[in-house]
Structure 1
Amino acid sequence: MANQNYHEEEKLGKAYDGRLMKRLLKYSAPYWKAFLISILLLAVVTGIQIARPYIVAVAIDDYIFTSPMIAFEPGEEPQEGIEHQGKVFIKERHLDKDYPENPKYQIMVYEGENYLVPSTFQREEYTIEERQGEVFFINEQGEFTGDIMDENTYSHFRENDVKGLTRLGITFLVIVLLGFGLNYAQVLILHKTSFKIIYNLRVEVFTHLQNIQLSYFDKSPIGRLVTRVTNDTERLKEMFIGVMVNAFRDIFMLIGIVIVMLRLNFQLALIALSAIPFVVIASIIFRIKARAAYREVRTKLARINASIAENISGMKIVQIFKQEDKKYNEFDEINKGHLSAALREVKIFAIYRPVVDILHFLVLALIVWWGGGSVMDGTLEIGVLYAFTTYIRMFFQPINAITEKYNILQEAMASSERIFQLLDTEIEVTNPKEPKNLPKVEGAIEFKNVWFAYNDNEWVLKDINFEVKPGETVAFVGATGAGKTSIINLISRFYDIQKGEILVDGINIKDVKQEELRKNIGVVLQDVFVFSGDIKSNIRLNNDHIDDEKIKEIARTIYADTFIEKLPGGYEHEVQERGSTLSSGQRQLLAFARALAFDPSILVLDEATANIDTETESIIQNALEKLQEGRTTLVVAHRLSTIQNADKIIVMHKGKIREMGTHQELLNNGGIYHDLYQLQYKEQLAQ
């Protein structure tokens, strides 16, 4: 059954961890100027967004709807106004102070005609009567008749309104276009900067993975590491874009709206802000509940991933032993657990958003109710009421976005914790501070009192001592787990030994750079790894010094040209991932060609012919002879028939060297090697 302990990386810490955030900010520090510009642009864009309803409100109250006017004698007017019938008319709302002694006028409309009436009228507080062809406008101050305004007179009175609307319209268009341009620049800068940060982080993670010792990969699933470089870094990008900088947008928006509402109308602003305590309480409850639900979904998802990975990897066994129904039932149970957890999470999110929406609409209803009454009383302009209804909607937008931002932040914190856990993994196999130069390697190898364990005190190799002279072929044989492959891995310094020394040409391999050491060692493994690409690229491995002619010459040398030239496209034949379209023998010949192309001084063969049929083996043996010419060769062998001509055979047993000598010497000794040879000989006879 799938691992019940789940994956370690699915464990979650805090929804917000200051320590992790501090480390993340270090990656953004080199780009602080870009972030500052982005934040400043956000401030301007937010200001433009807040200004738009205000401009519309001014247009409605100052220019669209008629309002009371004060009449002045010519020469006494405090500012420019409209001259008509020996008086200068100025809108009361445009004056800095009251003029109680001056008469007031208002333009009224009745049956399509405009009247200039010597009084002021509030909605629902006046009536209109027509008597003997004369129109009377009646309010608490009395009955008033007005002068009918012809089209020219009316246009004259509204001339400033038209000009004002034109100015506001142009202003509105300009700031909308400006907002578009600044928003485009802000999005571009923010995304470009975030992409650079994630690019740098991915490079760091990938470089760290390349330098980590192989023991780390022995214990870490490949899928988990791929997730670190791809999915987890992508979640951090979403945090930089969706949370870190855009949080400033929300802050600017909320603060700006509050300031504008307070300036427009203090009482309406208090009504609008009355919902804030309830929003805060709802958000706190949501955060607690959502955190628990999110944790449960992630752990259930980890079980699904573990189950799928296990079943796909072991699909052959599942089908051979007809375990499909059992594995289906196990997966179905796990999947139902995830479904239930996901539904619980959805319910929490489904409650929070409607709660915020209810608060939003309650506040909006209060504003419409109170503000509408004030408009009818004449104590509030209709444009201000319009602005408030718009600002309330804008005010609740960032609050509604909390759920999405909270999700992103949670995922980012979990991802950053896993990434930093990987980056904090200590690199045990490191280059020396003052490396020695490794001249042209002759191929002398010496193990001196070498002790090695993959895990503490679980010794795989115990006090290993042997020497290999330049040009010699030395084979290692023994039962599975005897330590043969470990010796091979240690020569290339894929792992570091705990005790003793490993010398190449008399120089301790810990005293030279790893890349300097490894470029002199060619390794051919039993399971050949072939990269996607073509045949040439798999032999060259990005070494531009190896031209096409050299590749063909190498292929002919080891008899690989025969099968390569039969492939569609020849040396440019497209190879699928892991070389799935090639046979084991073809992949092995490719590995030999790759090793020969780099011309190493030391050749390591780790059971390179173990999975090859007899016919192919004869071709590969001929290739091996060409490959071994003039090189020190270390062979881990399963088939003893392939190493009979080795200069030295070392017999391993339980991490120790038990026998050493030539093929014939070891047979004559009648020891472990003799028994192994006899056992294989009997198996071959039985076949």
Structure 2
Amino acid sequence: MTIGKRLFNYALIYKKTIIFALLMLMVAVAADLAGPFIAKRMIDQHILGIDSYPWYETDEGENAVLYQDTWYKREDHFSVDDVKGKEVRVLQVGRDYVFVDQPVTTPEGERTYEDGTLTITRSNEEMSYPAVELTNDELLSFYMPEVDDLFKLILVYFALLVVASIFTYGQKFFLETSANRIIKKMRNDVFTHIQKLPIKYFDSLPAGKIVSRITNDTETIKELFVTVLATFVTSIIYITGIYIALFLLDVKLALICLVLVPILVVWIKFYRKYASKYNHIIRSRLSDINAMINESIQGMTIIQAFRRKSETKEEFEEINKDYFDNQNKLLRLNSLTSHNLVGVLRNIAFVALIWYFGGQSLTANSAISLGVLYAFVDYLNRLFQPITGLVNQLANLEQALVSSERVFELLDKDGTEVCEDKMPRYKGNVTFDKVSFGYKEGETVLHDISFEAKEGDTIALVGHTGSGKSSVMNLLSRFYDTKEGKILIDGQDINTIPVQMLRQHMAIVLQDPFLFTGTIASNVSLNDPMITREQVEKALQDVGADRLLKNLQNGYDEKVIEKGSTLSTGQRQLISFARALAFDPAVLILDEATANVDTETEKIIQDGLEVLKKGRTTFIIAHRLSTIKNANQILVLDRGRIVEQGNHDDLMQMRGKYYQMYQLQQGKQSSLAG
């Protein structure tokens, strides 16, 4: 499905509001474009009408004009039953008007008045008529029958302006409201989809780039619906309405002006071809900038400690310069287009208008009225307003389409559908059956892993860095799926269990625990309504957290800022223990949970661990071997394979890798103590 169709599908969600807004827009356009027609009627019918129509002698009455003791009425004011008397004419000569007391067969042509004689020259033929020049008062009396109609038309004109203003406001309000709702839904969709993506997706994409797609790219798409869509729809409707009006006025000139449409279409295609290239680079560089800023803020301690400020600045300036250069290329393209293009088209249109009307004025048989000329000029001026709007929005359109492509690329990533179903708490019998796994194709990090953990057992995984300990736990949690072999819980293959249902009865405590912005209590319950305040407090007390948190001013309601940076490592770790305990998992995973704490805090954490492990199958990735001496089973991993397996005493008697690691750690501790 194309980007345009997918954006259109989002718009269809709020189609009723959008259609209503477009109907209001059509009314606004119709009301606005009716203005020149009213002006044309005012000019041709009422202002120049005394010249255009014959006058006839009549009796005193409505719309009759008294001149030299005789009543006259204009031809268009007679009803069917009225009797017409002698025909006369009131004609304009220069800036003056004359009264001709007889019919004038051909009033079109060049007119001159001298010594009581009106001369009309037409096609080398001269015709003369006796005439009397009208005074200002006499001329005003001939205009008086038109005053009421002129006043009514003026009122209609202003009424249409009010209607156009009201409906323009309405369409803008409803269209932009719909646009904001569309973007709100799109952001929700993107954020929701991110929760469904596998962990491996985040391994290869910096957080700053993902944030850029959710914030910057969706904000650009918002401009598409709020500004670009409104401008394009408004402009297209206006242009269509103006062309309809032009065809009603004069078909030939309207056809000439119609040439502007294919020129505009060709130009839009030309612009998009080059703008798309620059916008792709610009959006990509903006993501890189966000990613680097995010990384720099998180690693500011290291940057400053190792005096990498100047190098980091240079790296940022390089990315920023590339972004700047491509922005300038796009700016030059935009500068070349918008105003210049519209100016050229406007000049071409007015040259055609002058040429056409100039030619018409030379032919008396096809003379154009001043009202038509005014309406044409007015409509041509109006025509270039929406064209200018269209061209000026091309840059925003292209940026929005590029951003849409990036957002939809994210939405197209395969994710796991959220399963709201519940499953009974499983016992926690875990079996790894000949499991092999690799993060990349052709690269295996776990080889033929097999072991069994019974309900309530504590299983410890030890080994050097890169031996595969965390990979085993990642597979158990289904952050990744096995390549070969099976993992069973209570005899059921975990690949057949939806991940949400599987993790419903699992909990994990990381070496570097993650806390969310909120309070200590909210970080324990994660705002799960099923976990009461009493359960939160009991979990914190059971793991011994109250001993480390009791000095905080607000207790369990103490504010937690980003990542819990105001709390100590031990405090954060105990909060994560309490979180795991509050959710009462059947399977508990501890990833080097005591590696980064001091000895005194470790004692508190160890006591908390004993509480946490009761009644559940526990997997511990151990750094300090002294903390796992009581484990039911210890797995020693080396290069992705289990090389030793048994309890502490068994492994010490084997005098293998575990024995060496234990003795090494004990030796270090003895030397440190000495």
TM-score, L = length of structure 2 = 0.85
Where in structure 2 are there 5+ consecutive unaligned residues? 121-127
The corresponding residue for 2:64 is: 82
The corresponding residue for 2:123 is: none
Per-residue CA deviations over 1:444-481 (Å, capped at 9, x if unaligned) read 22222222222234222222222222222221111111
The verdict on how the C-alpha distance between 1:569 and 1:306 changes in structure 2, with shifts beyond 3 A counting, is closer
Percent of aligned pairs sharing the same letter = 36
The corresponding residue for 2:55 is: 71
Aligned mates of 1:261, 1:511 — CA distance in 2 = 68
Is residue 486 of structure 2 the alignment partner of residue 501 of structure 1? yes
The verdict on how the C-alpha distance between 1:95 and 1:504 changes in structure 2, with shifts beyond 3 A counting, is same
Q: Secondary structure at the match of 1:217?
A: helix
How far off its partner does 1:163 sit?
1.7
1:469 paired residue among 435, 449, 454: 454
Aligned mates of 2:368, 2:426 — CA distance in 1 = 93
Aligned mates of 1:383, 1:349 — CA distance in 2 = 38
How far off its partner does 1:300 sit?
5.3
Q: Secondary structure at the match of 1:187?
A: helix
1:166 paired residue among 129, 141, 151: 151
Is residue 24 of structure 2 the alignment partner of residue 41 of structure 1? yes
Q: Which deviates more, 237-246 or 203-212?
A: 237-246
Aligned mates of 1:444, 1:221 — CA distance in 2 = 37
The answer on whether the counterparts of 1:300 and 1:341 sit within 8 Å (CA) in structure 2 is no
How far off its partner does 1:674 sit?
0.9
Aligned mates of 2:93, 2:148 — CA distance in 1 = 21
How far off its partner does 1:382 sit?
3.7
Per-residue CA deviations over 1:52-79 (Å, capped at 9, x if unaligned) read 232233233433456314222438x9x9
The answer on whether the counterparts of 1:431 and 1:510 sit within 8 Å (CA) in structure 2 is no
Is residue 39 of structure 2 the alignment partner of residue 56 of structure 1? yes
The corresponding residue for 2:209 is: 224
The residue correspondences of 1:155-554 to structure 2 (distance < 5 A) are 157-244=142-229, 246-265=231-250, 269=254, 272=257, 283=268, 285-295=270-280, 297-298=282-283, 301=286, 304=289, 308=293, 315-352=300-337, 353-361=339-347, 363-364=349-350, 367=353, 379-427=367-415, 438-554=423-539
How far off its partner does 1:676 sit?
0.9
The residue correspondences of 1:591-670 to structure 2 (distance < 5 A) are 591-670=576-655
The verdict on how the C-alpha distance between 1:405 and 1:144 changes in structure 2, with shifts beyond 3 A counting, is same
Aligned mates of 1:567, 1:236 — CA distance in 2 = 45
Q: Which deviates more, 20-29 or 469-478?
A: 20-29
Aligned mates of 1:23, 1:365 — CA distance in 2 = 43
The answer on whether the counterparts of 2:517 and 2:560 sit within 8 Å (CA) in structure 1 is yes
The corresponding residue for 1:3 is: none
Q: Which deviates more, 240-249 or 451-460?
A: 240-249
Q: Secondary structure at the match of 1:401?
A: helix
Aligned mates of 2:263, 2:535 — CA distance in 1 = 76
TM-score, L = length of structure 1 = 0.84
How far off its partner does 1:192 sit?
3.4
Per-residue CA deviations over 1:628-649 (Å, capped at 9, x if unaligned) read 2232221111111211222221
The verdict on how the C-alpha distance between 1:92 and 1:268 changes in structure 2, with shifts beyond 3 A counting, is farther
The verdict on how the C-alpha distance between 1:547 and 1:296 changes in structure 2, with shifts beyond 3 A counting, is closer
Per-residue CA deviations over 1:497-521 (Å, capped at 9, x if unaligned) read 1222222223322333333322211
The verdict on how the C-alpha distance between 1:142 and 1:217 changes in structure 2, with shifts beyond 3 A counting, is same
The answer on whether the counterparts of 1:539 and 1:594 sit within 8 Å (CA) in structure 2 is yes
Aligned AA (1:356): V
Aligned AA (1:409): L
How far off its partner does 1:371 sit?
5.4
Aligned mates of 1:72, 1:338 — CA distance in 2 = 78
Aligned mates of 2:635, 2:476 — CA distance in 1 = 15
Q: Which deviates more, 526-535 or 64-73?
A: 64-73
Aligned mates of 2:295, 2:246 — CA distance in 1 = 59
The verdict on how the C-alpha distance between 1:118 and 1:625 changes in structure 2, with shifts beyond 3 A counting, is farther
Q: Secondary structure at the match of 2:87?
A: coil
Q: Secondary structure at the match of 1:510?
A: helix
1:145 paired residue among 126, 132, 150: 132
Per-residue CA deviations over 1:509-557 (Å, capped at 9, x if unaligned) read 2333333322211211112111111122111111223332332222222
Q: Secondary structure at the match of 1:493?
A: coil
Higher relative contact order (CA 8 A, sep 6+): 1
How far off its partner does 1:606 sit?
0.7
Q: Which deviates more, 255-264 or 231-240?
A: 231-240
Aligned mates of 1:277, 1:661 — CA distance in 2 = 81
Aligned mates of 2:539, 2:271 — CA distance in 1 = 67
The verdict on how the C-alpha distance between 1:371 and 1:604 changes in structure 2, with shifts beyond 3 A counting, is same
Aligned mates of 2:283, 2:187 — CA distance in 1 = 23
Aligned mates of 1:100, 1:376 — CA distance in 2 = 34
The verdict on how the C-alpha distance between 1:487 and 1:238 changes in structure 2, with shifts beyond 3 A counting, is same
How far off its partner does 1:101 sit?
8.6
The answer on whether the counterparts of 2:101 and 2:130 sit within 8 Å (CA) in structure 1 is no
Aligned AA (1:526): Q
Is residue 25 of structure 2 the alignment partner of residue 25 of structure 1? no
Q: Secondary structure at the match of 1:545?
A: coil
Per-residue CA deviations over 1:260-305 (Å, capped at 9, x if unaligned) read 2233245654665566676566555544444444455455556655
Aligned alpha-carbon RMSD (Å): 3.8
The verdict on how the C-alpha distance between 1:30 and 1:438 changes in structure 2, with shifts beyond 3 A counting, is closer
Aligned AA (2:522): S
Aligned residues: 653
How far off its partner does 1:104 sit?
0.8
Aligned mates of 2:292, 2:273 — CA distance in 1 = 29
The corresponding residue for 1:560 is: 545
The answer on whether the counterparts of 1:236 and 1:416 sit within 8 Å (CA) in structure 2 is yes
Q: Secondary structure at the match of 2:595?
A: coil
The verdict on how the C-alpha distance between 1:287 and 1:421 changes in structure 2, with shifts beyond 3 A counting, is closer
Per-residue CA deviations over 1:97-137 (Å, capped at 9, x if unaligned) read xx9993212489999xx9866589999944578xxxxxx68
Q: Secondary structure at the match of 1:209?
A: helix
The corresponding residue for 1:12 is: none
Aligned AA (1:593): A
How far off its partner does 1:396 sit?
1.4
Q: Which deviates more, 389-398 or 300-309?
A: 300-309
Aligned mates of 1:297, 1:501 — CA distance in 2 = 46
How far off its partner does 1:673 sit?
0.6
Aligned mates of 2:79, 2:340 — CA distance in 1 = 45
The answer on whether the counterparts of 2:446 and 2:641 sit within 8 Å (CA) in structure 1 is yes
How far off its partner does 1:594 sit?
0.9
Is residue 92 of structure 2 the alignment partner of residue 104 of structure 1? no
Aligned AA (2:340): P
The answer on whether the counterparts of 1:279 and 1:356 sit within 8 Å (CA) in structure 2 is no
Per-residue CA deviations over 1:551-586 (Å, capped at 9, x if unaligned) read 222222222123434223222222111111111111
The verdict on how the C-alpha distance between 1:275 and 1:508 changes in structure 2, with shifts beyond 3 A counting, is closer
Q: Secondary structure at the match of 2:393?
A: helix
The verdict on how the C-alpha distance between 1:424 and 1:545 changes in structure 2, with shifts beyond 3 A counting, is closer
Aligned mates of 2:280, 2:50 — CA distance in 1 = 60
